[in-house]
Amino acid sequence: MTTRPEFAEVAGQLLRSVADDLGRQGVACDLAGDVLTMRFADGTKCTLIRQTPTDQVWLADGVLAWYFDWQADTGDWTDGRGRGRLATILRDVLERRLGSPLHLAFSPAP
């Protein structure tokens, strides 16, 4: 279990790293505070949100949502319902939205 300041640092680094990675690949995205919004040509969007009250990062894609917990022992974000790792799920969501393969190289932690 991480402390609240540790969570804030790790989650903040995650959002910045994902935004930088996607920007380099031409994916339209905006980081404003605790919310990273990714926009697509068809007008849809998905968001990655730091939820400090629950110490989670949430990914929302239309009516679908995932809630990721930081696993300090493995250095990874995993869905609290056992649906997988953030990097894998985010890549799958973005590839489906973009209609083409995407290589994500963001750092999950500082």
**Cβ-count burial of 84 within 10 angstroms (0-12 exposed, 13-18 middle, 19+ buried)?**
middle
* pLDDT score recorded for residue 34: 96
- pLDDT surpasses 90 at 4: no
- Contacts for 50-55: CB closer than 8 Å, 24+ residues apart: 50/8, 50/11, 50/12, 50/14, 50/15, 52/4, 52/7, 52/8, 52/11, 55/2, 55/4, 55/7
* pLDDT score recorded for residue 3: 79
* Two tokens, residue 23: 């920007």
| Number of domains, the chain | 1
Cα(39)–Cα(75) distance, integer angstroms: 28
For the chain, give the mean pLDDT.
91
pLDDT tens-digit series, residues 7-47 = 899 999 999 999 999 998 889 999 999 999 999 988 999 99
In a domain, 31, yes or no: yes
In a domain, 107, yes or no: no
Cα(29)–Cα(13) distance, integer angstroms: 16
Domain with residue 26: its CATH number is: 3.30.920.10
In a domain, 105, yes or no: no
* pLDDT score recorded for residue 1: 54
In a domain, 104, yes or no: no
Cα(53)–Cα(65) distance, integer angstroms: 17
Cα(83)–Cα(21) distance, integer angstroms: 23
In a domain, 109, yes or no: no
* Two tokens, residue 91: 């890549």
- What percent of the chain is modeled with pLDDT above 70? 95
Domain that holds residue 10: 4-98
